[in-house]
Each structure stands twice: as C-alpha cells, then as structure tokens.
A and B are shown apart, each in its own frame.
Chain A
Amino acid sequence: MRWTMQDFSVLIGGKAGEGINIAGSVIARLLSACGLCVYMYYDYPSLIKGGNNFAVIRAADDQTFCTRETVDVLLALNQETIRLHAGMVREDTAVIYDSGVVKAGGTGLTLDAFVKEEEAPAITRSAGIIGGFCRTAGIPWATVEAVFARAIPRELDANLRVARRGYDASPPGSWIRVNGREALPVLTGNEGIAFGLVEAGLEGYISYPMTPSSSILHTLASYAGRFGISVVHPENETGAMLMALGAAYAGRRVAVGTSGGGFCLMTEGFSLAGMAELPVAVVLAQRPGPSTGVPTYSAQGDLLFALFAGQGEFPRIVAAPGSVEEAWYWAGALMDLSWRFQTPAILLTDKNLGEGLFSFAGAPPRPPLAPVLREGDGKYGRYQDGPGGISPLAFPGESGITVKVNSYAHDADGITTEEATTIAAMAEKRREKERAAAKALAAYPCVEVAGDRTAATALLCWGSVAGVCAEVAGRLGLRVVRPVVLSPFPEEQLASALLGVGRLIAVEENIDGQLSRLVGCHGIRVDERIGKYDGRPFFLEDLERRVGEVI
C-alpha cells in the first residue's frame, strides 16, 4: 500500500435536538483515537428543536483548521442532510443513512429497529449510524468501545449495543489508516480559553450567557468545584463587568465573557477599568452583523470595536488567537498582562474558534509576569508613582492603609481632582503603562508567520482564519503573516515578519477589511483584500481559488 498523507472528511447531519454536536464530537474522538489530528466545524441555526444541524469532521496526519468542499463519508439522520449536502458528495463518497426516514443511495441502516430491538433510548440512533461509520471508515471495534466509554456518560451499554448493530450492518471499508500515534485530547476553543484562564490563576468568571461565548461559562461552571473558583451569572452584562471590577479591586483575578452585543453594555465598565486602573480579562466572541446579528455563526467584525471601545484614552491589551493552543496561551497571558499593567485586556475570538473542536497539542509556557505589589509599610496611595507608570497594588482589608479607586480623574491617593497638571500627569501615567506593556510584549509571540517564510507574496490575516490561510499558503507557496496581538500594535515584530514581502493580500471574515485599516494606520499597505461575511468559514478550496485569482 502506498503511504500517503491522510486527509479524511465526514459530515453528519440531522434535525436540531438529535444530538448532532455530541455525535460529531464522538466521531472526532474516534478519529483522534486512531492517531489523527481532528477539526470539527459545527453548524446550527439559532433554535432549539427542528431545523437542520450538521457537523463536518476533518481528520489528517497533521492538524487542519478548515473543511473541504467534498466529504469521504456522509452520515444522514434525515432527508434534509442528503438534499443540503448533495454538492459535497463525490462518486466515491460513502453515504450511510437512516433508511427509516431517508431515501438515498448507499448503506441504509434501520436505526429505529436497532433501537427498538436493543430496548435502547431513541437518542442512541446516532450511535447506530456512528457504528456504521466506524465499520466503513475502518475503525476497529475495540477503539469504538474505548472511546464510547470516555465520551458517552449515560447509557453506555445501550449506545454500544446500537452502535454494534450499525457496525455489523455496514460494509467494511478502509478510509482510515490507524497511524499508531498517541491520541491527543480534543477540545473546543472555548474549553482552551477556560483552562488557560484557570491555569493563569482565574478565581472568578462572571458572565451573562451569550452565544458564542456561553460554553466558556458552562465549562467553568461545571468544573467550578474542582478548581475552587466562583462562576457567576448575574443580571446582565453591565452588572457582570462592574461585579468583576469590584472583585478585581478586592484582589481577585477575574474574567468576563460575552459577544458583541454584551460588550456594548460592558464598554461603560471597560472604560472605568481604564481610568480606575483595574485589571480584568474580557473574552469577546464575535458573531456576524451589527446588533443581534447572526447568533450561531461567525465573523471578524469587532476588531475596531475592541480597539476603540470605551470613552477616553487608556491602554488595553488585545489579542486574537488562531488555534486552541493559542487560545489557551493568550487567555492566560492576557490575565498576566492585565494584572501587571492594571488595565483591561480583550481576548478576541469568534464562533469558528470558540465552538470548533480541535486536537490539542499543548500550550507553550508563558513568560513569568507577576503583578507589582506594595512592599513595606508607610503611606499608601493607590495611584502613586511606580516604574513604567505602574502603581504598586494593595487591596482593601490591609491594616493601616486605605485603598481608594476612582472613576473620576484623581490624584495619587485616588481622590477626585479637576486640577490641570494632575489630570495631564495621570493621562501620561496611563500612556506610560501602554509603552511598558508594549515593551513586555516583545517577549511574547505577538506575530506568527506560517507557510514559505521567504515568499514575496504574503497573506495577512488574524484570528481563526489562521489555519485555512496557512493551508492555502502551503499549497500555493505563499507566506502568512498574522498579528496575534493587535494592541499595543506590535510594530517591530510585524515589520520583521514582513521583511521581503512585496505583495500583501489580506484575508478577513468581514466586509470592511478591519485589519487592513489597522495596518494602514501604521504605514503598511495591503494590495488586495479577500473578505467573507456570510457567517460561514472559508472552505479550503474556496480560499485557494480566491487567492489564486489575485496573485
């Protein structure tokens, strides 16, 4: 047999409420157990039951971050899946479907009969089709048993019995080659954020539910007891932000999470954090469109909002990770940076990263960066001078001192002032912190480069389009330059990443080219822009074509 790189795709679709997300994640873990790196895109409308959901799982020897235009196996729990995805079916695509409700060519499985005969709950229908998939793909039964035991918490036996029926009723195939590599854990981007925050010492997460950030709240709530943290769902986003600032004032490392609409409400407190010099990490998970937009789909339309949110001038640290490893790393790094520089930080993500499922290869260690704490005794002024504009921190409760923070212009003790020189001095102090933060960030990977590092044509991108850009660049022999940190703007790292680039093509999931505008403010000219703003991620071939048209 010829030893080639594996690149395998499977789509599972069905009605909302049939557990497509869980079924997809089980398939991802089955493929991961075979030693492949996996990526899953999950597509669902904003409704609870009815409508059509689907998950596309792509597995390969190396990590991928996007889906392809066709699939190797199509699993249909309803007729709509066959109709919607007809264009993804090739001649050699294996189609497996529930013959009770679907008419199609391929392998029909009598899922209702399996469930009835095995006296299993109706939800195990998806286990039946997963069993059929495993046989067709060439996944050994022992792997199915091992993965089900970890991935399916309830009714394990019933699920396995129904899966076995599907397995036995399907023709054997060999799409997958078990490559013998150790299986990696499979995480969503939002799980990566949650664990990255916890690893960096998170003590409280305060969030009002808003897709696509909600699963951070759910994840942390479910592990709150194990981590000894407080997870709070308050009355609204305004309350969440202000509560977080109260907790930060009292010395706790806290984060908040939301999407654009919620961040609108939080900007009031965000600006307060800037003036009062309070640390807080904000996860801003973007969705398409202004206002309510499209809740369950993805976009990169909030970059300029994140950079400019809040009245007045104050430093903020903004980073947009492009993978689950980066999400983990930067969630922690922003917590460290926010505390060091006593100013708010934003982790800018989106649905594709946050709700996408990825093999997790481990996050790199972060540079140590401790907060500046008050040492010794004597008089304390919350905003007294310190190195780099950083005033040493103390917290209320400490004997002999008062800790006064203030949303108003204030003096070194935190007392309100309208005195001209003090107002100017405090503005300069905040600016000094921004410079100090930029200096500290030199030790961090603020700009990532992928593809051919010597190529004169480069794709410029940010956030979750990193992976698809890297893959396209690999195929077309291009360079990818990607700022991860967007504020303070990483001038030097970006300039060095762009050395020798003669032609720059920006790829963004928005219509205005927000990164293009940002780099333009720093004297970097973008030659071409490729935008996508329909809420759906780029397919590999789709982006390859569009890049091909402009190079």
Chain B
Amino acid sequence: MEAGFSILIGLFFAVGVYLMLSRQIIHILIGITILGNAVNMLIFTAGRLMREVPPVIPIDLYVPAGATANPLPQALVLTAIVISFSFFAFLMVLAFRTYQELGTDDVNEMRVAEPKGEALPPQGY
C-alpha cells in the first residue's frame, strides 16, 4: 500500500509544482493546495499505513494488548491541514485584494514593488 501511496504523492507533487510554475496567481494558489495535500499524505504514509486496532488500552493493563495503529501521524496531519487551510484562505483573500488593486493576476505584470526600468543608482561619490 505504501508504494501505491508514494506514486500518488509523487503525482500530487508534480501537479502542484507544475501549477505553481504558472504565471496566474489563481493557478499558483491551487498548486499550493495540491502541494499541501501531497505533504499531508506524505506524513501519513511516512507514519506507516496499517489496518490495526486503535491504540486503546484495556482497563486492567498499562500498555496496549497487541499491535495497534500509530495515532501520531493523524495528529500531525490534522495540525498541518488546519494550518495549510488557514494559509490558503489568507492567500486567497490577499490574491483577490491584489487583483482588485492592481487589475491583474499575472505575476509578470505585478511590478509595483519592483518597477521595470528603474534609473541607475547614483554613480560616484
């Protein structure tokens, strides 16, 4: 199962990076979301995929009776999902505001902070 997931994750990474190389901000944002999902699946797979019982300890024991699933990747992925979702939401609003202000969503045309053809710095002392 890990092998299949690895291929899927690789595919997600490829799609994410391809979209992020686009000039349209909206494509970049979708690419970021896909990349984020790829990363989440990567953590999940790295924590081993298995069909064991949940790590619940019987009432009269100190440790789980048999082999149990590893709960930590779920906790990690949950944290990562919340964070990447909130970042995506923020960047979405930012991109919309930028589109409103600058009238473009093409990164090549967003040159307000670094205008093209600036005069040379003062030469000499």
Say if A and B assemble together. Answer: no
Q: What residues make up the interface of A, taking CB atoms closer than 8 Å to B?
A: none
